[in-house]
Structure 1
């Protein structure tokens, strides 16, 4: 009887709190296929307003320690910001559910634990609400992006052995070392809930009329996705669920496929979630400031604008992003719509990038969308262009439709180029490396090689361009095929007229493009 009275009192206090509940203005990021069956996705954003009193924030498995040293240290780095998120969400009337699995004995007498146990039992449990969920039907459309079969710990062997030795007293008592939620996350004994059970979480959601759920915590590719109260289970049960993508981490070891950095591994899991499970948001939408990034995550963000049909860069560039850039860059890919060549959904995200790689051919964009590119360039940010980027936003003799804009001077202003045409496709050109010392040429053999496709007519270049490679066909003067350019706005640009699908099979071209991207960012 006493527990029932305490529960009713708690719920009455909650009603009082609802009077001060605030709205949450959220930007939900999701990814949708370019067209049915496509392996590429548009990155889109929906603006939504959620009522705080209809929203739960779940803190998933943010334990006080972990078997993996690096995982434990990253959690310690994350929790001060996560605690700010929890406090602000609570202030706005959001219900906070602390879910440190396997730690309920520590909270046996905690009011927030008792509150969770005493919530009325729901009469509409989703199927398997008490069971882990390893995949939902929508995920069958994709390929899981990382290999986590080794457990995902990214410790080196020596530090892992030393860490395990330090945990031995804890592991002698239990098969896991964690005992509680990390102490840096404050638990309000008067309002919050503590549970690690899917049915208890569901009871809390239903008893409080909570249709929206924000998931935070670790680890995204394991507990956050798979727990009975995780993203998969709640999204298929009909709740509006989002992942707070900068308040999470993964268990991923860069020594496993696809052999990218730990943080790129997290990005790949976030991509998977946005495509097949639920949207994501950022902590900044609650607490302001800058997106949280781990101190070791120093990767610049490279946006790839891919809008051409001739050279298959919608296939080659995403692969290049993983194979060649996956250790050093965070890559955002923005694609044109196949059914409407002048629409590039998600182009607004380019503004968030540190550098822009353009692979586009004769597209005119809605004026506000082309302005995103113009503003990026005007800010002096690095720009990289391959192949058709020299005529990315220029029609031949046509004028743009009403409401659309071109940029005929893009080649001259951004790359210092002078594209006029190309030699016949049947004429195979040989590429020669210029006799200059330049960082873009580091590691590149000085032996000539054959170009994958036709030679562009690009001369004469702006006098401020530095030519790094030239190409020639029999009987014609050489043409520049790769150069750097210091723009009038102060930004660095790198351009190469290479970029055919066959060029991407050439390690020399891959090194050239990677070096060119690196060089443009050196001045930032």
Structure 2
């Protein structure tokens, strides 16, 4: 439910921290309504040309070339990127298309955008989907990293994703995903190999743009709308926005991540989105 998670996050970044945020949605071009099942249209991507940070939370998109070109220009610029949950498999583009290398299963650009830029592509569910929730544990030695500042309590009902270890390049795991036995934050950790070792669920890395500029990246395989009821996870993302833009000196001891207005997110699931809504329905008043 990225169409609910990202407006909430954008409002926090704008209202509580002074950033100017624009949220783009998958739109049904005939009705103008938000339609997460429409994988071929995200209106407004040309706004990336003037953006300082891209936060991406898509899944298996097959966007037209003119829209992918906007994303490609941004990536080539070497500007910072935050990827949430299914952004590891953000695109599923046929091999005969101009931007096929971005596809999650690309062989030309091994693992596509997910692997090359964010650090991993889609592999599998590590925790049992909708049965084993995730407790975020700060990785050993990372307790003083500015992104995890004030993030003592991270939990979400989504499962841990499998990633290949070690993560590529200069990837630095910040938070590990402890698989729990059930769907409550009070459930104990699962015993056995799923937690030995624990999979990273949040990490940093860098990538190099076409002009040689090095861009900072933060990726988390958590981030579903219901995950973001966790104050610790919201703070992790806000801190990451500061860090990605080289503003880590401005991260306070406990960043204000109170939601702007009520936040009652829908549960994750295919086709479970709220019907009949338009972007204006998520606008900040």
Which category describes the TM-score, using the shorter chain as reference length? 0.5 to 0.7
The offset of 1:511, in angstroms, is: 0.3
Instruction: Report what 2:261 is aligned to.
Output: none
The offset of 1:519, in angstroms, is: 0.4
C-alpha spacing 1:497/1:373, structure 2 compared with 1 (3 Å): same
Task: Give the one of 87, 102, 109 matched to 1:407.
Answer: 102
Task: Give the one of 484, 489, 496 matched to 2:220.
Answer: 496
Q: TM-score, normalised by structure 2?
A: 0.67
Say which SS state the counterpart of residue 518 (structure 1) adopts: helix
Task: Give the one of 119, 125, 134 matched to 1:429.
Answer: 134
Instruction: Report what 2:231 is aligned to.
Output: 507
Distance 1:463 1:432 in 2: 22
C-alpha spacing 1:344/1:411, structure 2 compared with 1 (3 Å): same
Q: TM-score, normalised by structure 1?
A: 0.38
Describe the superposition over 1:8-36 as per-residue Cα deviations: whole angstroms up to 9, x where unpaired: xxxxxxxxxxxxxxxxxxxxxxxxxxxxx
Distance 1:500 1:340 in 2: 18
The number of residues matched between the two structures is 208
The offset of 1:429, in angstroms, is: 2.8
Describe the superposition over 1:221-247 as per-residue Cα deviations: whole angstroms up to 9, x where unpaired: xxxxxxxxxxxxxxxxxxxxxxxxxxx
Question: Where does structure 1 lack aligned partners over 5 or more consecutive residues?
Answer: 1-311
The structure carrying a bigger strand percent of its residues is 1
Describe the superposition over 1:338-394 as per-residue Cα deviations: whole angstroms up to 9, x where unpaired: 263211121111111111000100001111211211111111101001010100013
Task: Give the one of 367, 374, 379 matched to 2:77.
Answer: 379
RMSD of aligned residue pairs (Cα, Å): 2.2
Structure 1 or 2, whichever has the larger Rg, is: 1
Q: Does 1:481 align with 2:201?
A: yes
Task: Give the one of 447, 454, 469 matched to 2:175.
Answer: 469
The offset of 1:404, in angstroms, is: 7.0
CA contact (8 A) 2:177 2:200 kept: yes
Instruction: Report what 2:283 is aligned to.
Output: none
Say which SS state the counterpart of residue 457 (structure 1) adopts: coil
Higher relative contact order (CA 8 A, sep 6+): 2
Instruction: Report what 2:42 is aligned to.
Output: 344
C-alpha spacing 1:462/1:523, structure 2 compared with 1 (3 Å): farther
Instruction: Report what 2:277 is aligned to.
Output: none
CA contact (8 A) 1:394 1:406 kept: no
CA contact (8 A) 2:82 2:218 kept: yes
C-alpha spacing 1:342/1:401, structure 2 compared with 1 (3 Å): farther
Say which SS state the counterpart of residue 174 (structure 2) adopts: strand
Distance 2:77 2:237 in 1: 23
Instruction: Report what 2:161 is aligned to.
Output: 456
The offset of 1:335, in angstroms, is: 1.1
Instruction: Report what 1:313 is aligned to.
Output: 2
C-alpha spacing 1:484/1:402, structure 2 compared with 1 (3 Å): closer
C-alpha spacing 1:498/1:404, structure 2 compared with 1 (3 Å): same
Question: How do residues 299-310 of structure 1 correspond to structure 2 at under 5 angstroms?
Answer: none
Task: Give the one of 33, 40, 54 matched to 1:356.
Answer: 54
